[in-house]
């Protein structure tokens, strides 16, 4: 099974992960997101996005998770999405890339996120 991974560490609002080149992928896939290290009472909104122009203008949000702490490595939140649940995705399309974005977060909030794409 093929697998790609990217992370955000101590992500405040506006933080993005490195991109994953998914242009050569085909068939079914699952994106697994693991969220940890968000302080109690703090909130964050994290999005999984795709693009075919390296995130300069053509950006689609495929999935978003609205979080509230406390999240720890011992008590994380896991979410996943499959290809059929995001029919507008561009995995397997020329120049297709994925990334994570901390779309918003409370002042002083930071979250760790790990994205694993499996197919």
Give the CATH number of the domain where residue 18 resides.
Answer: 2.60.120
What phi and psi, each to the nearest 5 degrees, are found at residue 90? -120, 30
pLDDT tens string 56-88: 999 999 999 999 999 999 999 999 999 999 999
pLDDT tens string 80-115: 999 999 999 999 999 999 999 999 999 999 999 999
- The predicted pLDDT at position 2 comes to 85
How confident is the model over 20-24, as a mean pLDDT?
96
Tell me the residue range of the domain where 12 lies. 3-118
Q: What is the pTM of this model?
A: 0.94
pLDDT tens string 26-57: 899 999 999 999 999 999 999 999 999 999 99
3-class SS of residue 8: strand
How many domains would you assign to the chain? Answer: 1
- The DSSP line for 17-36 is PPPEE-TT--S--EEEEEEE
């Amino acid at each position: 099974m093929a697998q790609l991974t990217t992370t955000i560490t101590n992500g405040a609002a506006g933080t993005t992960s490195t991109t994953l080149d998914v242009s050569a992928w085909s068939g079914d896939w699952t994106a697994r997101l693991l969220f940890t290290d968000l302080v109690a009472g703090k909130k964050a909104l994290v999005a999984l996005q795709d693009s075919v122009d390296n995130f300069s203008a053509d950006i689609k949000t495929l999935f978003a998770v609205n979080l509230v702490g406390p999240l720890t490595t011992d008590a994380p939140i896991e979410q996943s999405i499959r290809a059929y649940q995001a029919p507008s995705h561009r995995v397997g399309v020329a120049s297709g890339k994925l990334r994570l974005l901390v779309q918003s977060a409370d002042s002083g909030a930071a979250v760790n996120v790990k994205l694993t794409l499996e197919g």
